[in-house]
Amino acid sequence: MIELEGLTKRYGTKTAVDHLSFQVRPGVVTGFLGPNGAGKSTTMRMMLDLDNPTSGTVRIDGKHYRELHEPLKHIGALLDAKAMHGGRSAYNNLLCLAQSNRIPRSRVDEVLGLVGLTAVAGKKSKGFSLGMGQRLGIASALLGDPEILMFDEPVNGLDPEGIHWIRNLMKALAAEGRTIFVSSHLMSEMALTADHLIVIGQGKLLADTSMADFIQQNSRSYVRLRSPQQERLRDVLHANGFTVVEAGGGVLEVDGATTEKLGELAAENGLVLHELSAQRASLEEAFMQMTAGAVEYHAHGTDVHGGAAAPGPQWGATTGTTTGTTSEGA
């Protein structure tokens, strides 16, 4: 259990973390989400007592980090995959950490096996690929077999196989009753791994909710229709009490309806449909909408949000500044 209370960090006049209070509970994966520069890493560094908070406190199982005698046995952290001495072998990098916490040598071999680095244990870590570096960082986090694990953007720069491995690892660790706290700036990644969600923007808490609730509240589901008889279709839908939004390109969107219901309605009225599909707005959109006011570094003049996360052309057509208007049905 990690508890944050009114955690604040100021650098001069800039407030990086602003009165953050939340709890990270055991047995679940808690996602820590925010755009770049939201204060995620600063918060995590303060949780590990690397940075001093301007005000507020962090408690790990009721204690301050500095009061933990063998912290690696309570909390394991992956902050930065390259936070190791590159001239030292993987084995020695882990060994010096183990020794400082009186963790037996045999555990070093154990975690190396666990992350699949046994074959390169004697190799210098500066020759490691990003994925191998990430695995070494995770090995160091698991070294003390801790109850709490903290990962800062663990999937950054990994290949699909590595991403898959980390996801499964986090789920397996949580299933053992551990507390998992993982940060990311990718909502889609969190949706796959996290049970609970903490969203921050510009250092402020924006949401502290279960993943299921977040999906419930923020994902708009609707039915997408295309028809050569668009005018008549629209009249029929109106007559039956549906709210219709014209999305351009001959596409109509209907909120709060099922495909079955609309298909039957079209058939009863003898209407030709070219498309009838259930759609769900992406969580990425919901996340961007939530943090729209809190994004620190905007790109100007280009469509920063379109494309990748967009389920249909209506999303791609929106620009960064008008994102908020696209989900009016939510």
Partner 1 sequence: MTAPAHPQHAPAPHAYVSPIPVRRAHLGDALASEWTKIRSVRSTMWTLGVMILLMVVIGLGVAAIAASSEVSMDEETALGFGFFGMLPASICVITLGVLTIASEYGTGMIRTTLTACPSRARVLTAKAIVFFLLVFTVTTVVATLVALAQVALVDAAEPSADEWLRATVGTGAYLAALGLLSLAIGTIIRHSAGAITVMIGLLLLPLVAALFMFSVALKSVQEWLFTYAIPSQMIALYSAQPPFGEDGPAGWEPLLIMGGTAAVVLAGAYALLNSRDV
Buried b (16+ CB within 10 A) or exposed e, 303-318: ebbbeebbebebbeeb
- Rounded to a whole number of angstroms, the minimum distance from the CB of residue 22 to partner 1 is 19
Residues 40-69 that bind partner 1 (CB under 8 A): 45, 48-52, 65-66, 68-69
28: left (phi over 0), alpha (psi -120 to 50) or beta: beta
Work out the number of other CB atoms within 10 angstroms of the CB of residue 233. Answer: 23
Polymer length in residues for the chain: 330
Interatomic CA distance for residues 56 and 72, integer angstroms: 23
Binding flag, residue 195, partner 1 (CB under 8 A) = no
Q: x/- string (CB under 8 A) for partner 1, residues 291-310?
A: --------------------
Distance of CA 295 to the CA centre of its chain: 15
The piece of 172-180, 195-203, 208-216, 281-289 that touches partner 1 (CB under 8 A) is 172-180
Q: 304 near 286, Cβ under 8 Å?
A: no
Binding flag, residue 3, partner 1 (CB under 8 A) = no
Binding flag, residue 10, partner 1 (CB under 8 A) = no
Binding flag, residue 92, partner 1 (CB under 8 A) = yes
Burial of 238 (0-12, 13-18, 19+ CB in 10 A): exposed
Nearer to partner 1, 111 or 257 (CB): 111
- Rounded to a whole number of angstroms, the minimum distance from the CB of residue 183 to partner 1 is 15
Residues interacting with partner 1, by CB under 8 A? 26-27, 45, 48-52, 65-66, 68-73, 77, 79-80, 82-89, 92, 95-97, 99-104, 107, 110, 113-114, 140, 142, 144-147, 165, 168-169, 172-173, 175-179
